[in-house]
Structure 1
């Protein structure tokens, strides 16, 4: 084995070992600071692995990246979900649909669905002692609870996500628990890696960029261990951007359909649409992408509209209110904007700034690299919204892997810091300001340095400076 390949492989093995320990460390409620230390150590090893990959001969990059992707993804399977209970809702929604019932019609604690309960999702007695259990009303003296968070509200997930939950439930063996959803997350995350490698190689770009996703610690933690549906949205968005970049009308329309599927899996991928419209000059060209996306999203909702007796948007409005997105004065939302602006100005200014970024991307963006514009819009949206949930950044990480501007990964690490350390620091905006502020400083600093480098070498139109594989 080439010495440089051996070095990269050794660092990768150390990353995998650290990830296994982190996944097995059940410290989210008991020792969040210790858990984040381990998570931060994984990120340090991730950076070292990327640096080592820069020196690996081109012929060995893809095999090593893919082997590492498998090893990293598997680490998410070594323990039950550690830092999120969302996958329990996924399992419940799949079970409800398998019984022929709309997931939007009943809350998990509704007695009408009591026959679908089991001891895994709805434990009783001493098993109800735990911070990740929610009480369920019951007439018996024995305590009843559920692992499902917010059991008194309807589901929030869009139709493609619900169809995925149903498929996993139907394909799972009887009595299965969290492993089918984790396995599904692992397979989809590997699908993202495959799509990235394919797109990069077809464009003659550096395949090392795929490691930004494939080896990133957030992927096994959020996409596999916690099995967040965001990974499906990221996969569909990446595939859609790859098709849009092909520039033919048929490919752009197919890309639009995939964007619609991504939005119908998790609403957040709608933010990549301005990037998909980079450099579009005519309304007709924009419609080729936007209309298929809107049509697919609408049609995806149709079966559930026909099956359901209630709203198919479920708890969406309540979630926005609960998370403080409609009240800038609460929690840590818009924390960087609130540092310099009155609370009441935060949301309007956010809209104006993002609108400006979107217009810039659509007017000045490179249609051959739609992911560059998508990354710019998504990155600044995250930086200004300062979300408290780390799994939202899976989409951002996938865009970084397509584009190569690694500095935006700081936003993903900031989200993890806010989420893991939030309970310790009372979810105060100070923690968000420090984490996201440092990430924004990194983005601005590296962007400035990259621009200076580009100006000093005006003939260079290759891989962005600082990307893996560049000097």
Structure 2
């Protein structure tokens, strides 16, 4: 079995003009279908059509990756950057299509600009009525729509808001809230969703730039960066829907890049950035075991953990001092609403629930993730901490089976550093569950099928890589051989002899 877009084998030689033409056509087709996907939406009216367009984007993404393999190494960075700009821009051609989260971001930024803590009031609180912009809180006939929520009012004219869950407090951590404030401060008066989309687009390009820089400094194949730069999940979830997860991904990637250095000051700086990522969306905490790959001394572990924990805690301090209520807002209610504490109520842990009682799913998940984390910390390569981070994050997502596709942005960024493309199946599974599952009332079944297929792909490719590695070792007479992305976990196995 030969992977379509493997980046571990040398690119084949073809005529430069033919290679450039093929890649340009593939990127043009990808951006065209992405524009159609964003422009026409269909989340409420035509979820099947929407997912078909999205799936077509992924097929064209794979075609573009295959074409990139034939590009000479000296031109790869240019192609990836140009493609990243084109793909990112597609997310700006329409308003948010499949999520209303960015409207909460805009509101939190607006509230903070008025000198009010975003944790103290719900969006529908009459105390903040003076801050309501008409585009966020329409009235009258503008309230007809499936993505609008009613707001209590007096009189006969309907009042509504684009903000989801307007009766609950915000749950976003302090770095995310600071980002919302900055975007609001830099935005012209009366603007709508576009500043947040532009900000997310710039952050997305920042992830591409950081990935290219880290790969160049570590002597890796720059082609891996295309896994983020051209991935359809990025323009749709990071840019069009403007999810703040892209900020967490950027901080986590930059942090892991610094942690990979031997200098203690750089490792501490990396820990600081990882702490900032955690204080953006909490989810990036799963990269911490990767950041501790191969660490044997308490001092080395403390150099990462102390700055990360200190920043994550201290970032809350200004909001604690300014707020009258809890700075965790609706976080506990969200956990219950999404079925994380009661698996029988939703589609969480769907793979574990195939073989275990519902009540066992969460404890077993913790045991498995803890086991993978310990393996990564003991056997991982400290020069490639993103490899261990990908392993922990990937299996955490595969077993948690989240129903929101934007959670996988962090996973896509780690794939771009490491190169094990099979983990991208988790991102596609999340999109299938989000777009199709809730619309047809079979989310749990679809979650099992989608994430089951993604996990199977990972297991199959793991077996394929191990067998290929074994053949290389046998052909080399038992001498040390160039390791695959999977085998790079073992301490000292990467980079191979003779490579930087």
1:355 to 2:370 alignment: yes
1:208 to 2:223 alignment: yes
> Partners in 2 of 1:465 and 1:135 — Cα distance?
50
Q: Pick from 49, 61, 67: which aligns with 1:34?
A: 49
> Partners in 1 of 2:398 and 2:49 — Cα distance?
26
Contact 2:462 2:486 in 1 (8 A): no
> Partners in 2 of 1:379 and 1:66 — Cα distance?
26
Contact 2:469 2:484 in 1 (8 A): no
Q: Pick from 459, 477, 482: which aligns with 1:461?
A: 482
SS in 2 for 1:433: helix
Q: Pick from 323, 346, 369: which aligns with 1:331?
A: 346
TM-score calculated relative to the size of structure 2: 0.92
RMSD after superposition: 1.3
Partner of 1:44: 59
Contact 2:148 2:163 in 1 (8 A): yes
Deviations 1:262-296 (A, max 9, x none): 00111000000000000011222111100000111
Partner of 2:477: none
1:77-96 equivalence runs, <5 A: 77-96=92-111
Aligned residues between the structures: 467
Q: Pick from 194, 203, 206: which aligns with 1:188?
A: 203
> Partners in 2 of 1:228 and 1:390 — Cα distance?
11
Deviations 1:321-351 (A, max 9, x none): 0000000111100000001111111111111
> Partners in 1 of 2:426 and 2:122 — Cα distance?
34
SS in 2 for 1:326: coil
Partner of 1:225: 240
Q: Pick from 318, 321, 327: which aligns with 1:306?
A: 321
Give unpaired runs (5+ residues) of structure 2: 1-15, 474-479, 488-500
Deviations 1:196-252 (A, max 9, x none): 000001111100000000000000000000000000000000000000001210010
Contact 1:331 1:427 in 2 (8 A): no
Contact 1:77 1:183 in 2 (8 A): yes
Against the structure 1 CA distance between its residues 263 and 377, is the aligned structure 2 distance closer, same or farther, given a 3 Å change threshold?
same
Partner of 1:469: none
1:73 to 2:88 alignment: yes
> Partners in 2 of 1:118 and 1:280 — Cα distance?
51
> Partners in 1 of 2:218 and 2:391 — Cα distance?
20
> Partners in 1 of 2:483 and 2:87 — Cα distance?
29
> Partners in 2 of 1:376 and 1:457 — Cα distance?
24
Contact 2:112 2:181 in 1 (8 A): yes
Contact 1:425 1:431 in 2 (8 A): no
- Structure 1 stretches of 4+ with a deviation exceeding 3 A read 462-466
Deviation, 1:464, is 3.8
> Partners in 1 of 2:214 and 2:483 — Cα distance?
16
Contact 1:107 1:154 in 2 (8 A): yes
Give unpaired runs (5+ residues) of structure 1: 467-471
Partner of 2:12: none
Deviation, 1:360, is 0.4
> Partners in 1 of 2:311 and 2:448 — Cα distance?
38
TM-score calculated relative to the size of structure 1: 0.98
Contact 1:453 1:465 in 2 (8 A): no
Q: Pick from 172, 182, 191: which aligns with 1:167?
A: 182
1:113 to 2:149 alignment: no
Contact 1:405 1:464 in 2 (8 A): yes
Deviation, 1:462, is 5.5
Against the structure 1 CA distance between its residues 204 and 462, is the aligned structure 2 distance closer, same or farther, given a 3 Å change threshold?
farther
SS in 2 for 1:265: helix
Q: Pick from 12, 17, 20: which aligns with 2:35?
A: 20
Structure 1 stretch displaced more, 226-235 or 338-347: 338-347
